[in-house]
Amino acid sequence: MRRDPHTAAWDALKAARKIQRFTQGIERSAYFEDDLLQSAVERQFEVIGESLNRLSRLSSELATQIPDLPKIVAFRNVLIHGYAEVETAVVWDAVTTHLPPLIENLSALLGEAPAQSDERP
């Protein structure tokens, strides 16, 4: 199997879109009370971080086009390894503040509209 950096970017975009779908219409207080939703969102952030880490190993040229890629990968590491110390407010901030620009960036990188489906071309 050929390792394709675009597949890694697409996997990150798909996970980011899932987070948006999971949290659409959800208020901060509702998110804080929903352990299942928190787990689902955190899992998708883990996928984003792992996918972008893989992208950085496959294509440094593409990786440099993603702002804050090292911070995104570090966030994944905190979620995976420091799960007992994960602050719900930090994750919610990532959902509401950092995720929309990441989706726009990945969509542009892949030549897709930000709101396209999760189906692979």
pTM for this model (two decimals)? 0.89
Tell me the helix, strand and coil percentages in the chain, rounded to 5. 75, 0, 25
Please write the tens of the pLDDT for every residue from 5-52.
999 999 999 999 999 999 999 999 999 999 999 999 999 999 999 999
Q: Which residues have C-beta within 8 Å of that of residue 54, sequence separation ≥ 6?
A: 3, 8
pLDDT at residue 84, rounded to an integer: 75
For the cut 80, the answer to whether the pLDDT of residue 121 exceeds it is no
Q: What are the two backbone dihedrals, phi and then psi, of residue 41, each rounded to the nearest 5 degrees? A: -65, -45
pLDDT number for residue 116:
54
State the DSSP string of 13-52: HHHHHHHHHHHTT--HHHHHH-HHHHHHHHHHHHHHHHHH
pLDDT of residue 102: 97
